[in-house]
Amino acid sequence: MIIVTQFKKIGALVLVNRDEVKSSSSDPVFHTRSLLGNDSDDIHVFARHLYEHLRINKPAVFGISLKDYSVKTLTLLKEVLLEHSLCIFGQIVIGPPGSGKTTYCHEMSQFLQQIGRKVAVVNIDPANDGMMYTPAIDIANLITLEEVMVNYHLGPNGGLVYCMEFLEKNMDWLFEKINHFKGHYFIFDCPGQVELYTHHNSVKNITEKLVGFGMHLCAINLIDSHYCSDPGKFISTLLMSLTTMLNIALPHVNVLSKTDLTERYGKLLFHPSFYTEVLDLDYLLDALNEDPFAHKRGLKLNKALVELIEGYNLVSFIPLCIKNKELISRVHAAVDTANGYIFGSGEERNVNALLSSAVGVHFAGGRDTGFEEMSTDP
């Protein structure tokens, strides 16, 4: 129950809930029901608007008792709610080296800002020297890879692990910084070291602590789509993605990045939807069996791996070419669904306006798979 009062009493009680958004083009529908006391339209309008601003995805009861119900008071209350919002949403961008994480953080933050979201990009890659965004929070102010390598005589991989363990032990530093960005949506740019996600515990512990801090997080695992051009590499990509999902244990969105470049590394054996939807993997085994250099024992191992991946039935991908706003929007919709983000007012409409004004995107084929169309782009 949320009490909004200027008279030190609970006031009128109103129940508010919202319908599931059916499509990105439809505005959300709210229902208000008076439970007790004053049943005026003003009270209902206030309850509905405050509920929307709280961004919670379950019904809520408001106790409202105010001196006036003017637009000015409502605007003031919304600002206070946004400042003290209990729900912090964000995405943690992970994946192998060079898969496009930093580029994604920049482009996704631009996209979200354009649709009206306040975004803070947090760099937690201690070796990030090519940031095209200005980080709101930067791990470099806590620790850098370079100083760790020099002071502790570690190589780059050991140094990165040390930095992540250091951050894990100094989460108060991060929480304190996050507190300066109330009402923001957070995007975390992570280092490109696969072991950190597949079996080391620091990133997992860091995300657990962020969730404990009140953050609704989703992991975005970027995988370079050139792995699709080789059946063996694609199987190992699937296995790595599965292991990451199981280890990080957050709501998860896998993304095949750089789809405009996919076929530069060889023609795809199957339709792109085979790779994004991870359809019947026996076809991949057949392709591997046809390889004259494949070792018999390796084939048995591949079969076992495919059975494992299919047994979990968890891995699928969204294609992404970073310059394609429609594909970015698709990833953004999947992430919002995964971490339970509730749209701020007008965001859906802004997405549509943004997509309809996007220039330079040519679709040669159907819109569903994304990357074969983009690979035909100049």
Ligand X SMILES: Nc1nc2c(ncn2[C@@H]2O[C@H](COP(=O)(O)OP(=O)(O)OP(=O)(O)O)[C@@H](O)[C@H]2O)c(=O)[nH]1
* Identity of the residue, 224 or 347, whose beta carbon is nearer to ligand X in the bound complex: 224
* 321 binds ligand X, rule: CB under 6 A: yes
Smallest gap from Cβ 139 to ligand X, in A, equals 13
**Count of residues of this chain found to bind ligand X when the rule CB under 6 A is applied:** 17
* 257 binds ligand X, rule: CB under 6 A: yes
Distance CA 138, CA 179 (A): 14
Distance CA 180, CA 157 (A): 31
Name 315's Cβ contacts closer than 8 Å, sequence gap at least 6.
238, 241, 242, 245, 254, 278, 309
Separation of CA 150 from chain center: 34
Stretch that binds ligand X, among 53-61, 179-187, 240-248, 258-266 (CB under 6 A): 258-266
Interface positions, 332-371, toward ligand X (CB under 6 A): none
Q: Which of 97, 105, 92, 111 is nearest to 133 (CA)?
A: 105
* Identity of the residue, 44 or 101, whose beta carbon is nearer to ligand X in the bound complex: 101
Interface positions, 74-133, toward ligand X (CB under 6 A): 95, 97-103, 125, 130
321 binds, among Mg ion, ligand X, none (CB under 5 to 8 A by kind): ligand X
Query: Per-residue string for binding with ligand X, 152-191, x by CB under 6 A?
Result: ----------------------------------------
Q: In this structure, are residues 340 and 216 in contact, taking their beta carbons and an 8 Å threshold?
A: yes
Q: Given candidates 43, 122, 322, 338, which one binds ligand X under the rule CB under 6 A?
A: 322
* Identity of the residue, 133 or 185, whose beta carbon is nearer to Mg ion in the bound complex: 133
Structure tokens at 234: 């694609």
219 binds, among ligand X, Mg ion, none (CB under 5 to 8 A by kind): none
Residue with the two structure tokens 């076809």: 283
Q: Given candidates 32, 102, 144, 202, which one binds Mg ion under the rule CB under 5 A?
A: 102
* Identity of the residue, 191 or 231, whose beta carbon is nearer to ligand X in the bound complex: 191
Distance CA 189, CA 222 (A): 11
Query: Degrees (nearest 5) of the Cα angle 151, 156, 162?
Result: 60
Distance CA 192, CA 151 (A): 22
* Identity of the residue, 261 or 361, whose beta carbon is nearer to ligand X in the bound complex: 261
Distance CA 88, CA 68 (A): 30
Query: Per-residue string for binding with ligand X, 27-66, x by CB under 6 A?
Result: ----------------------------------------
Q: Are strands 30-36 and 12-18 parallel, antiparallel or unpaired?
A: antiparallel
* 123 binds Mg ion, rule: CB under 5 A: no
Smallest gap from Cβ 125 to Mg ion, in A, equals 5
* 260 binds ligand X, rule: CB under 6 A: yes
59 binds, among Mg ion, ligand X, none (CB under 5 to 8 A by kind): none
Q: Are strands 252-257 and 119-123 parallel, antiparallel or unpaired?
A: unpaired
97 binds, among Mg ion, ligand X, none (CB under 5 to 8 A by kind): ligand X
Q: Helices in the chain by DSSP H: which ranges?
A: 41-54, 71-83, 101-114, 145-152, 156-169, 171-178, 195-198, 202-212, 231-248, 272-277, 282-289, 296-312, 325-339, 347-357, 371-374
159 binds, among Mg ion, ligand X, none (CB under 5 to 8 A by kind): none
202 binds, among Mg ion, ligand X, none (CB under 5 to 8 A by kind): none
* Identity of the residue, 94 or 174, whose beta carbon is nearer to Mg ion in the bound complex: 94
* Identity of the residue, 144 or 257, whose beta carbon is nearer to ligand X in the bound complex: 257
Smallest gap from Cβ 363 to ligand X, in A, equals 16
- Give, to the nearest 10 degrees, the angle between helix 156-169 and helix 171-178: 70
Residue with the two structure tokens 């992430």: 335
Distance CA 135, CA 159 (A): 22
Query: Degrees (nearest 5) of the Cα angle 314, 318, 324?
Result: 170
* Identity of the residue, 284 or 374, whose beta carbon is nearer to ligand X in the bound complex: 374
Smallest gap from Cβ 49 to ligand X, in A, equals 39
Given the rule CB under 6 A, which residues bind ligand X?
A: 95, 97-103, 125, 130, 192, 257-258, 260-261, 321-322
Given the rule CB under 5 A, which residues bind Mg ion?
A: 101-102
